[in-house]
Amino acid sequence: MVSLVTKLGNFVGHRKLGTLVASDSGVWLARDPDTVREPDVAFTSAEKIPLDAEIDGYAEVVPDLVVEIVSPSDSRRWARDRAQMWLDYGAPLVWIVHPDTRTIDVYRPGAATSTLHEDDSLDVHEVITGFTCQVSAIFV
């Protein structure tokens, strides 16, 4: 998944579109009871969190794109539930990456889930205008 982070990071960084983080960066989703989740990869636009913002602790803004990478011990149900959780908290786009099948499940609010295969193209035009990438390129 380093390839995906690199491709997204370069695209976002050069255009100053927002912040891309990979792990070690929790998001405060709710308080009382406190709910913090840590996506594997997240993009938050500069409109939501300015590039010069100092964030002390967890971000309190739901990312525009959440990427969760399924590990061998994760079930399909866990992946669906995780995606739904992010959508319920307001994420407009969630990718669930399945390295074992080299596929990506794409979740959007109010839309049917779609599954992308290696010969498909990732497109996040509604979140990161202009970014596109062949699915096979992220599994190198």
Q: What is the pLDDT along the chain (140 residues), one digit of tens a residue?
A: 678 899 999 999 999 999 998 876 778 777 888 787 889 999 999 999 888 888 777 788 999 999 999 999 999 999 999 999 999 999 999 999 999 999 999 999 999 999 999 999 998 888 999 999 999 999 88
Is the full-model pTM beyond 0.75?
A: yes
State the Cα–Cα distance between residues 1 and 4, nearest whole angstrom. Answer: 5
Q: What is the pLDDT of residue 35?
A: 80
**Tokens 């997204």 sit at which residue?**
8
**Tokens 């596109």 sit at which residue?**
132
